[in-house]
């Protein structure tokens, strides 16, 4: 299948299925999360090489993930800390700009320092913009934006409200993908997804690859988007 090279502003992905992948492959859950990280880095490299997507947002850790068992959270944070260091090297090689999308409250100080270092060291890169939705929740983002909105007493309209979101310059995603087979959004980009095209795949995230992403992009480019007209 020929691959469309039409530019896409923003693709957002709910990376689901690491735990089930681990169970399926008879390995520890932490190995499933590691396989998910490897898949994410491969996707980032491929997208960066093709230069057809400007923004990629990956749902890494949600505000609801704090409800997981403590030992799993600790394992996740150890992995996340190492992932950011690996992403820093990848970003340097691929000219990727990394942006934090979410809250920093509750995050360990070590993690905050690592996140800040990666964001600062890649801020001048002008290739793919990788938004890492880490400690992120769509409802929290809307509530936090509303609090700022009230403080500055801006005129009430959508354009002004957008200025108070976590990343005001992040365009709405044209495509939202969820792997793993579940058919829900899970508190992800609730304000921004109003006219996003939704794609759900049963493929578990560690098995998701760039060829599958290209098929989704081709499918998207065949859709007629009327935006209510």
Q: Quick: pLDDT tens for 15-50.
A: 999 999 999 999 999 899 999 999 999 999 999 999
Structural domains for the chain: 8-222 (3.40.1180.10)
Q: Are 40 and 114 in contact (CB under 8 A)?
A: no
pLDDT at residue number 154:
74
- Local structure of residue 67 (DSSP, 8 states): G
The pLDDT > 70 percentage for the chain reads 97
16, 18, 131, 167: the catalytic one is: 16
pTM of the model: 0.93
Q: Based on the residue annotation, tell me whether 65 is a catalytic residue of this protein.
A: yes
pLDDT at residue number 43:
96
31, 65, 81, 218: the catalytic one is: 65
pLDDT at residue number 176:
98
Query: In Å, how far are 20, 74, 115, 190 from 79, measured between CA atoms?
Result: 18, 9, 13, 27
Q: Based on the residue annotation, tell me whether 16 is a catalytic residue of this protein.
A: yes
**pLDDT beyond 80 at 227:** no
Q: Are 158 and 146 in contact (CB under 8 A)?
A: no
Looking at residues 115-138, what average pLDDT do you find? 96
């Amino acid at each position: 299948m020929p691959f469309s090279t039409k530019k896409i502003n923003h693709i957002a992905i709910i990376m689901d299925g690491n735990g089930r992948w681990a169970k399926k492959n008879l390995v520890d859950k932490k190995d499933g999360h590691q396989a998910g990280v490897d898949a994410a880095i491969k996707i980032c490299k491929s997208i960066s090489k093709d230069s057809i997507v400007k923004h990629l947002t990956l749902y890494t850790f949600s505000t609801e993930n704090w409800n997981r068992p403590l030992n799993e959270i600790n394992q996740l944070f150890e992995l996340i800390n190492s992932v950011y260091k690996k992403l820093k090297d990848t970003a340097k090689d691929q000219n990727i700009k990394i942006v934090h999308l979410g809250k920093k409250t509750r995050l360990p100080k070590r993690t905050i320092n690592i996140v800040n270092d990666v964001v600062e060291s890649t801020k001048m890169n002008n290739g793919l913009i990788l938004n890492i939705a880490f400690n992120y929740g769509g409802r929290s983002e809307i509530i936090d934006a509303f609090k700022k909105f009230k403080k500055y007493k801006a005129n009430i309209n959508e354009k002004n409200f957008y200025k108070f979101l976590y990343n005001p310059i992040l365009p709405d995603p044209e495509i939202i993908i969820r792997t793993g087979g579940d058919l829900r959004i899970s508190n992800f980009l609730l304000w921004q997804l109003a006219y996003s095209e939704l794609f759900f795949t049963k493929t578990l995230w560690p098995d998701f690859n760039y060829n599958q992403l290209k098929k989704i992009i081709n499918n998207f480019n065949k859709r007629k988007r009327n935006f209510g007209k």
